[in-house]
Amino acid sequence: RLMPVRWSRYNPSYLEPEVKTESYQKPLEELTEEEKEQMELKAVRPIKAAPPTLSSSVFSDPMISKFINMMMKSGNKVLARSLMSQTLEAIKRKQVEKYHKAPENEKETIECNPYVIFHQALKNCQPIIGLSNITRGGKTYQVPVPLTDNRKRFLAMKWLITECRENKHRRTMMPEKLSQELLLAFNNEGPVIKKKHILHKMAEANRAYAHFRWW
């Protein structure tokens, strides 16, 4: 259907920018057919401007930027970014402490890189299947439905943030609580993982209604 891209200010023919320097340094022989076609298309079509959150430096990560945007309240990006950096620092501190206290044989298994922990924790929190409300004959059923990648990431991040905002003591700071939750999620424990398992169980329980889905 001819639908405009949800009111974007760009012409629909504009393509997304590719920021990573590695993809531009590949020699021509290593590219597959699809990549060659993509390159030809990019040479002809105009390209959108890179957003301010995206950069080619090693420190910018699209997943972390998305998480910061979701944590942000009333457009206060400065505060959200500082909270995130404090969280990553807190994770690093805890892991390094654990590392120094651990005996020799376990030192290799302890992960100290906060970015790796963040990515792994998010991956562990992502649900595989979701529920959606479908109304048939007046009654609304919860039908198990496959989720897209974007939706899974969004749900994982949303659950983490709501968990940290609501279930904490009034005096604990957000970075502390978030770092706690991320470490628990990294080890497949904690309330967010429990929520994911509850969702999976509900989907399994409502398996009988799976045929209501038409897409």
Residues that bind other proteins (CB under 8 A): 1-5, 7-12, 14, 17-19, 21, 24, 37, 40-50, 52-57, 59-60, 77-78, 81
User: Dihedral, CA atoms, 131, 136, 140, 144, nearest 10 degrees?
Assistant: -10
Which of 77/92 has CB closer to other proteins?
77
Q: How many CB atoms lie within 10 A of CB 28?
A: 7
What is the closest distance, in whole angstroms, from the C-beta atom of residue 57 to other proteins in the complex?
Answer: 5
Which of 11/187 has CB closer to other proteins?
11
What is the closest distance, in whole angstroms, from the C-beta atom of residue 115 to other proteins in the complex?
Answer: 16
What is the closest distance, in whole angstroms, from the C-beta atom of residue 53 to other proteins in the complex?
Answer: 7
Question: Rounded to whole angstroms, what are the CA distances from 182 to 25, 39, 78, 161?
Answer: 35, 38, 22, 11
Which of 44/139 has CB closer to other proteins?
44
What is the closest distance, in whole angstroms, from the C-beta atom of residue 96 to other proteins in the complex?
Answer: 23
Q: How many CB atoms lie within 10 A of CB 109?
A: 8
Which of 9/139 has CB closer to other proteins?
9
Residue burial 30-64, b: 16+ Cβ < 10 Å; e: rest? eeeeeeeeeeeeeeeeeeeeeeeeeeeeeeebeeb
